[in-house]
Amino acid sequence: MVSSETVSVNLKPTAGFCIKTKTVQDALYKPVGNDSDLPLGKGMKIFMNVAWDSNVPAPPETSEEIIEKVLAGTEDQEDAWYVPIVVSEGRLDADKGKHSP
């Protein structure tokens, strides 16, 4: 069973890589603690920075069979397995790279 337990840790992430993508349709971003939505227009660039920190706990040990079931979406409740992740709030920033048409 997946735990809903909250654990507090101090993180100093090490940069990994960045995924650059664009929105495929208009959308709204709802920042936490902000009363107004932020409109994201179609074609807006979205950057996702992927990093790691040894203070984020490792996934629980399990069998290869259960991991394959989870990845295929065929796991039972007793097979539940997860990868702990930390997601921070988004922020507006300028694209510092080359601008392409």
Calpha distance 14→94 (Å, rounded): 22
- What residues does each domain of the chain span? 14-52, 53-87
The answer to whether 46 touches 22, Cβ cutoff 8 Å, is yes
pLDDT at 1: 47
Q: How many CB atoms lie within 10 A of CB 11?
A: 13
pLDDT of residue 10: 80
Residue 81 sits at the vertex; the CA angle it makes with 54 and 70, to the nearest 5 degrees, is 120
pLDDT (0 to 100) of residue 43: 93
What's the pLDDT score for residue 99?
57
Q: What is the pLDDT along the chain (101 residues), one digit of tens a residue?
A: 455 667 677 889 999 999 999 999 999 988 887 788 889 999 999 999 999 998 888 899 999 998 998 889 888 877 788 888 888 888 878 777 765 54
Residue at 64: amino acid letter: E
CA dist 61 → 45, 58, 66, 69, 86 (Å): 37, 9, 10, 14, 19
pLDDT at 83: 86
